């Protein structure tokens, strides 16, 4: 089975440091590893692999551009696992985008 690797156009990518809230540049390999770790973590939580991992990487990239880091994605994922509505539903990182947007609008 072919392993999916997220693609990046440049050597370094600007991002927000979630502790200092300052813009920093990190290497694409660091971003790739972070995204792969998050994907593996979510697959373990779900008990199965995502059918379309590229969709998950796209969602993570959208979240990163919105200054939403891996810790925030994990936090929301865990909240949704405990929520009665989401408990038995098969959600993914695209769903996380929607739920974090609803959170922001409150």
What is the model's pLDDT at position 17? 59
Distance between CA 53 and CA 74 in Å, rounded?
17
Low-confidence ranges of the chain (pLDDT < 70): 1-21, 24-28
What is the model's pLDDT at position 19? 59
Which of 101, 27, 95 is CA-nearest to residue 67?
Answer: 101
What is the model's pLDDT at position 44? 96
3-state secondary structure 4-44: CCCCCCCCEEEEECCCCCCEEEEEHHHHHHHHHHHHHHHHH
Kindly give, in sequence order, each residue whose CB lies less than 8 Å from that of residue 92, ignoring residues fewer than 6 positions away: 42, 50, 55, 56, 59
Distance between CA 11 and CA 44 in Å, rounded?
30
What is the model's pLDDT at position 20? 66
pLDDT tens track for 72-84: 999 999 999 999 9
Distance between CA 93 and CA 60 in Å, rounded?
7
Domain map (residue ranges) of the chain: 12-105
Structure tokens at 100: 């974090």
What is the model's pLDDT at position 3? 61
What is the model's pLDDT at position 62? 92
């Amino acid at each position: 089975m072919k392993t999916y690797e997220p693609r990046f156009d440049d050597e370094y990518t600007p991002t927000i440091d979630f502790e200092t809230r300052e813009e920093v540049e990190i290497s694409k390999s660091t971003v790739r590893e972070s995204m792969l770790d998050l994907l593996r973590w979510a697959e373990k939580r779900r008990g199965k692999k995502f059918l379309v991992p590229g969709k998950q990487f796209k969602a993570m990239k959208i979240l990163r551009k919105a200054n939403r880091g891996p810790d925030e994605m994990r936090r929301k994922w865990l909240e949704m696992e405990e929520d009665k509505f989401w408990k038995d539903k098969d959600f993914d990182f695209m769903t996380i985008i929607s739920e974090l947007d609803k959170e922001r609008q409150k």
